[in-house]
Amino acid sequence: FSPGLLVVAGSFAAFRLLNRGLERLVPPPPSARRNRWKWRNIWTSLAHSVLSGGGALAGFYLYPELSNDLVSTHPPGAHSLVAVSVGYFLEDFVDMLCNQKLHQSWELLFHHSVVIICFGIAVLLHQYVGFALVALLVEINSIFLHLRQILLMANLVHTTRYRLNSLINLGTYVVFRMATLAWMTRWLFLNRHNVPPAAYAVGTVGMAIMTPMNIILFYRLLRSDFFK
């Protein structure tokens, strides 16, 4: 039994409660009232992105030893942050499964399954916590992806704030998502002899799935926000 599982369970419950109470905290505008669960879902995801993306940056600042050893170093704060993220992805998985048709959400469900497995290994084994923290840097871009969805649902597409968010979203997408995934893929390849075969296989499959998914999403964003 790993104490990290308690953090996962607590995180799942906390994000579930947040999801249930968000409609009172952030009432949906008239344009979003037909899809109330999606409004709550996006705001819950935004809360996780702020927490995990900011936490990942803080983790590398507070624990510089993580940068030198992504495998065996596991400070309690960094380990807990990864466990919190597992709880969130489990909550979001359940939320989508209960409220959205499978053909509409299968990509995200598949993405969440890969993340839960990879992060779950880090939580249970106290290994690759630094590598998982690098992956959480992607959530810095997710902040602006979720803000984009919120602005779309609020029918604020033709506004300066949407345009500004689109530009920041694209910039952070390249820096914190595509560049981060490329660096992780390179790290896995260079350290393949020091990583156990099972962990290397999981990491390689994860990167092989995430990379094309993120390239497709980047193309969709460009086409929707800049080439329409």
pLDDT at position 1, please?
58
* Residue 210 pLDDT class (50, 70, 90 cuts): confident
Residue 228 has pLDDT above 70, yes or no: no
User: How many angstroms separate the CA atoms of 75 and 130, rounded?
Assistant: 9
CB 152 within 8 A of CB 169: no
* Residue 123 pLDDT class (50, 70, 90 cuts): very high
CB 188 within 8 A of CB 71: no
Alpha helices in 26-137 (DSSP H): 36-62, 65-68, 76-99, 102-125, 129-136
Q: Please give the model's pTM, rounded to 2 decimal places.
A: 0.92
Residue 2 has pLDDT above 80, yes or no: no
Query: What is the arithmetic mean of pLDDT over 85-98?
Result: 96
- Residue 155: left if φ>0, alpha if ψ -120 to 50, beta else—which one? left
User: How many angstroms separate the CA atoms of 85 and 44, rounded?
Assistant: 12
User: How many angstroms separate the CA atoms of 136 and 115, rounded?
Assistant: 10
Query: What is the arithmetic mean of pLDDT over 145-160?
Result: 94
**Percent residues over pLDDT 90 in the chain:** 71
Query: What is the arithmetic mean of pLDDT over 41-55?
Result: 97
